[in-house]
Amino acid sequence: MKVIIIRYSEIHLKGNNREFFESALVANIKTVLKEFRYDFSRSNARYVIRNFDEIYIEDIVDAVKNVFGVHSLSIAEEVPSELKEISAAALAFSPTSGTFKVITNRADKRFPLSSMQVSAEIGGDILDAHPNLKVDLFNPEHIVYIDIRENGKTFVFGETIKAVNGMPVGTAGKGIVMLSGGIDSPVAAYMMAKRGMTLRAVHFHSFPYTSMQARQKVLDLAKIIKKYTLRMTVDVVSFTEIQTAIHENCPEEYMITIMRRFMMRIAERIAKLHGAGAVVTGESLGQVASQTLESITSTNSVATIPVFRPLIGFDKDDIIEISRRIGTFDTSILPYEDCCTIFLPKRPVTKPRLEQVLRVESVLDVDTLVDNALKSIETVVID
Ligand code: ATP
Ligand code: MG
């Protein structure tokens, strides 16, 4: 019978957190597999999926491979622990050319042959069937694994499929990710989810200056990252009143600096409403004028909870590479306008001084503007 073996990262299993980690991981695996029929079982330090419809095997593997906390998978044949059966299964997994070796693990000490003897027997059978193959014990191109278990069954498998690793979502607190329509913030969301953070998103739009397509693009991005975050809700906030107020009352070169401070205040208020302990952004040091140390200082100074910037030390090229890999890139580069592109100053300050920012901002009724923005929230649950 074909089965799928799922391994998780041992490193997270130390101490009392084991059960907490495992139950989150199992729940997340079950979430991504909710459309399939299968049996799930835990067996020491790994999980086994059985009795699924084999035409979906690739889909199941692909889904589980993207669950944070999963280290690797193997598609295996599960056979009764008898040499003849093991040999037949091993032949099905064996390469036909190049070099190989057989690795046997014998948990069942009642099995009549030692693991070395099993490897030699099965290796011999494989060589008989494929005379072009060569055994290489030290640097083989292919490995056939035989795992003789205590319950009288044996797993036989070849390739190990690498999974994403990371920590299960739901084990590292909750954050509000500021999701623009750009390349960076979806990657930032992915990176925090990979560390186990549960995420909710906030998006600022400036209707009617920004279009419904620009808003939809963000919801589309949210849908893609939901594949990794497993749940996703977006609070869409109207930013028009705030931008207009800044535009009319503050020197234009401070537009972006002050906008950022409003975004941060609102994100933090949303965090508090939903029991989130952090705000996440896609900022990368020095990438644009609003991401210099001075600009980040002025944005950060309105925050009272941690602001995580997982891309802070990344080059744009590296961010693009991740965004392609996680599937957000093609959507991110669609050419719809962003709220930051309206009222855009010709020469934004690149090194705002905090005292100057505070002075410039002091003409605004910050609390009322923030409250109004919060009242404008339209909550979109991504399904
Ligand atoms: P991105 O590619 O994520 O848009 P960027 O390089 O364009 O980033 P900025 O536009 O300076 O950088 O934005 C920095 C961060 O601020 C973004 O990564 C995002 O977290 C947040 N942000 C910017 N605009 C918005 C918005 N309209 N709604 C929500 N968050 C935003
Ligand atoms: Mg942007």
Q: Is 290 in the pocket of ligand 1 (CB under 6 A)?
A: yes
The rounded Å distance from CA 57 to ligand 2 centre is 38
Q: Which ligand 1 atom sits closest to the C-alpha of 284?
A: 6
Nearest-CA residue for ligand 1 atom 17 is 282
Q: Is 261 in the pocket of ligand 1 (CB under 6 A)?
A: no
Ligand 1 pocket mutation, candidates 179, 180, 203, criterion most atoms within 8 A of CB: 180
Q: Which part of the chain is CATH 3.40.50.620?
A: 174-381
Q: Is 281 in the pocket of ligand 1 (CB under 6 A)?
A: yes
Nearest-CA residue for ligand 1 atom 30 is 178
Q: Do 254 and 352 form a contact (C-beta atoms < 8 A)?
A: yes
Residue 10 has pLDDT above 80, yes or no: no
Question: Which ligand places an atom closest to the C-alpha of 299?
Answer: 1
pLDDT at 304: 97
pLDDT at 286: 83
Residue 291 has pLDDT above 90, yes or no: no
Please, which pLDDT band fits residue 243 given cuts at 50, 70 and 90? very high
Nearest-CA residue for ligand 1 atom 4 is 182
The rounded Å distance from CA 123 to ligand 1 centre is 56
Q: Is 337 in the pocket of ligand 1 (CB under 6 A)?
A: no
Nearest-CA residue for ligand 1 atom 31 is 180
Nearest-CA residue for ligand 1 atom 21 is 178
In order of 206, 207, 211, 232, 358, the CA distances from 203 in angstroms are 10, 12, 13, 13, 25
The rounded Å distance from CA 288 to ligand 2 centre is 10
Nearest-CA residue for ligand 1 atom 26 is 180
pLDDT at 12: 62
Residue 299 has pLDDT above 90, yes or no: yes
- Greatest pairwise CA separation for the chain in angstroms: 86
pLDDT at 159: 87
Q: In the chain, what are the helix, strand and coil shares in percent, each to the nearest 5?
A: 45, 20, 35
pLDDT at 14: 67
Q: Which part of the chain is CATH 3.30.2130.30?
A: 2-162
pLDDT at 11: 64
Beta strands in 186-329 (DSSP E): 198-205, 233-238, 278-280, 307-308
Question: Which ligand places an atom closest to the C-alpha of 206?
Answer: 1
The rounded Å distance from CA 338 to ligand 2 centre is 7
Q: Which ligand 1 atom sits closest to the C-alpha of 291?
A: 11
pLDDT at 124: 96
pLDDT at 340: 64
How confident is the prediction for the chain on average, in pLDDT?
94
46-50 and 2-8 strand pairing: antiparallel
Task: Please tell us whether the domain made up of 2-162 is placed in CATH 3.40.630.30.
Answer: no
Which numeric CATH code is attached to 174-381? 3.40.50.620
The rounded Å distance from CA 339 to ligand 1 centre is 10
pLDDT at 211: 87
Residue 24 has pLDDT above 90, yes or no: yes
Please, which pLDDT band fits residue 13 given cuts at 50, 70 and 90? low
> Which among 259, 265, 220, 236 has a CA at the least distance from the CA of 361?
259
Higher-confidence position of 190 and 344: 190
The rounded Å distance from CA 340 to ligand 2 centre is 7
b/e code 130-143 from CB counts within 10 Å (16+ = b): beebeeeeeebebe
pLDDT tens readout for residues 158-170 = 989 999 999 999 9
Nearest-CA residue for ligand 1 atom 18 is 282
Q: Is 314 in the pocket of ligand 1 (CB under 6 A)?
A: no
Q: Is 235 in the pocket of ligand 1 (CB under 6 A)?
A: no
**Which residue in this structure is represented by tokens 């979109």?**
380
Residue 174 has pLDDT above 80, yes or no: yes
Higher-confidence position of 63 and 343: 63
Please, which pLDDT band fits residue 45 given cuts at 50, 70 and 90? confident
90 HSE (CA, 13 A, CB side) = 34
Residue 91 has pLDDT above 70, yes or no: yes
